[in-house]
Structure 1
């Protein structure tokens, strides 16, 4: 990451990565360029900045936009994650870290985590999730409006929930949130990012040691004590690092987008309120429609591949657009717009293949509780600013608005 500062300056010369571009008016739909690439079946090339790469950090890749081709690329064995190919910093070499894991090591570590985050075990977290949300809503009631829901609500629950899941004191949640935000903030220096990574690695290693010595009734202790035949302590630390970094900004930004979408769409909001809240099927439709993580990490082609009727050569780079795929007529027919009455469809918003999100069941539950309880408590909720005045994180790999001022 030593070139991150230089790369971010040069990045201003480029438009947002083609696979994440959205319509400037609608703000959610794929851009016209993305839609045209998908319609034509072409794989247009685009330039982007990757601060993990030496030199200028400038890379070129092909954008894959069609639903079927996106799934083929994501499950193809002849590709590697770009971050794995080009990572030069020791801070990224951490056993058990799912973001940079590949092959058998990745499969082994992920299989342990999936066992602990299956639908049944996630539902056991519901009482604590509801308690935290109720407290956050009580706190909102004491504050003068307008209130920024990002700062006071949607960013709060994920950090507090991860603290509970891992047996970490709630008062340390803000520290965890600080480290993860530094890692995803494209405006901070490379040194700040490296410091955040190093401090979070040291923190997770310390928690693994404490769990080894004094186990509790939490996921961290289970990783350390119940899977010694599968995981080393270093891999347990990498898994904890993965849980923390993958659970905070993603859930917070998705929640923010869902609330904003329902405030903009009275018809869909009425459907939710008539049903008494957001269901899991609703969450899947919302994440399909919004695609808050609009693209998967770029991939490096390691051997010649046939994708549909076209081919990729070893040494090429590609990035799939989850956003374009989730709006593909092959998946949604002629009606890509939000429809909370739509039956569940196999979208790719949580990824596909080996790197499909292992925490998706928890994310669904968190967002459904957070959104349902908010609108139930404050049925008169409305935006306190014009939507055109909101600052959109359109250049970020996780999409949302930076703030969400509301009143009721």
Structure 2
């Protein structure tokens, strides 16, 4: 995922003859689905859902952008590939520009291209294939905990725990060198924060794709046992180098920053809730349900990829015109009371709800089970290794990301004993 939210606004505004070349941000009124108060979406998002589960975002210059905050309404949009498009051309306006700037992958593709590309990846994300990564995931977690134990003074869980674990897991999955993980982290993170501007984000995508094309070329010559090597072995020239690099970039981006944010914010929930800390430390049977409630409550991917109406369509009684943009607020939908009572609150004992943290429909995150494996391994290992761990600073002093599609905390300093 890129900072398409800003790019969408800039591109469509320029079409209307407006010089917005110096703008790095959307107008504040458009940022409602990206605003939070600590771990929670701002109350206005919930009020909007109760009042109008499908509402128009107040964006200037005549742009028609709809915000979907209801759970059932979001499912209706996300599952409807016939009347809604994800195609990258919608963001840049012309096929030529799309060919040059398209990051590839699944998020900005429609059937039949999306169907073909997803079919290439699906065998590598079955539980049978993913199970081979479980010992490696456990080893990676333990290595990071060992590094934390050796550190002097306070430890930043973002740097020592949240970032390295998914980065190393993705490197192992793809079959790329571990020594490149810092570059991967930099390139992946640069595309998520809207305050960097659309140009910075697209530059990060370009750098990442250039590197991954080099990795693909090496895999063509000598295919390994990672995801890229396996696809090359099984499909050969059926898939191009550009497509492979795009798929790898999508796996990296979707699997790295999202899981890193979950690891950090989930650790914060544990640090602020002694009963949850104790539950995860002592009860193996509770971990799966705990992770599902965290996924629902935190919903780090706040907004799904934009959908573009191919034709006039009605959603929950609201008429959306052909060409209109629809944004589904995943964080809003996951707090909808249709899922249960008191959904604005984290409840460690809640039975798993059918949340949309991984999206829904044809574009549902293909790496959902891998993310679950990482979270289920990392949280109990952390609290068992450091049972006296506590925040070094008051919670109100923590700094969270602003206007970021993937929500997160900038740092999480803790004392281990």
Q: CA deviation at 1:144?
A: 1.5
User: SS in structure 2 opposite 1:99?
Assistant: coil
Q: Deviations over 1:371-392 (max 9, x none)?
A: 2111110011111111111111
CA distance in 2, matches of 1:135, 1:84: 43
User: SS in structure 2 opposite 1:282?
Assistant: helix
User: SS in structure 2 opposite 1:401?
Assistant: coil
Q: CA deviation at 1:230?
A: 4.9
- TM normalised by structure 2 equals 0.87
> Equivalent residue for 2:276?
268
Q: CA deviation at 1:10?
A: 5.4
Unaligned 5+ runs, structure 1: 50-55
After TM superposition, list the pairs within 5 Å mapping 1:66-105 onto structure 2: 66-76=70-80, 77-81=82-86, 83-87=88-92, 88=97, 90-93=99-102, 97-105=105-113
Q: CA deviation at 1:32?
A: 2.3
> Equivalent residue for 1:217?
225
User: SS in structure 2 opposite 1:283?
Assistant: helix
User: SS in structure 2 opposite 1:217?
Assistant: coil
Q: Deviations over 1:105-164 (max 9, x none)?
A: 111111221211112222221111111111111111111221111112210111111111
After TM superposition, list the pairs within 5 Å mapping 1:3-402 onto structure 2: 9=23, 11=25, 13-15=27-29, 17-22=31-36, 24=37, 27-47=38-58, 61-76=65-80, 77-81=82-86, 83-87=88-92, 88=97, 90-93=99-102, 97-188=105-196, 192-228=200-236, 230-276=238-284, 279-402=287-410
CA distance in 2, matches of 1:391, 1:83: 33
Q: Deviations over 1:313-372 (max 9, x none)?
A: 212222111111111111123454222332222111100111100001111111221221
- TM normalised by structure 1 equals 0.89
Unaligned 5+ runs, structure 2: 1-6, 12-18
In 2, are the aligned partners of 1:8 and 1:187 still within 8 Å (CA)? no
CA distance in 2, matches of 1:260, 1:173: 24
Q: CA deviation at 1:310?
A: 3.0
Against the structure 1 CA distance between its residues 160 and 190, is the aligned structure 2 distance closer, same or farther, given a 3 Å change threshold? same
In 1, are the aligned partners of 2:296 and 2:355 still within 8 Å (CA)? yes
Count the aligned residue pairs: 397
Which shifted more, 72-81 or 84-93?
A: 84-93
Q: CA deviation at 1:83?
A: 4.6
CA distance in 1, matches of 2:330, 2:71: 8
RMSD: 2.6
Q: Deviations over 1:275-334 (max 9, x none)?
A: 148633322211001111121122221211122333222122221111111111111234
Against the structure 1 CA distance between its residues 354 and 214, is the aligned structure 2 distance closer, same or farther, given a 3 Å change threshold? same
CA distance in 2, matches of 1:61, 1:16: 9
CA distance in 2, matches of 1:62, 1:218: 40
CA distance in 1, matches of 2:58, 2:260: 29
In 1, are the aligned partners of 2:30 and 2:58 still within 8 Å (CA)? no
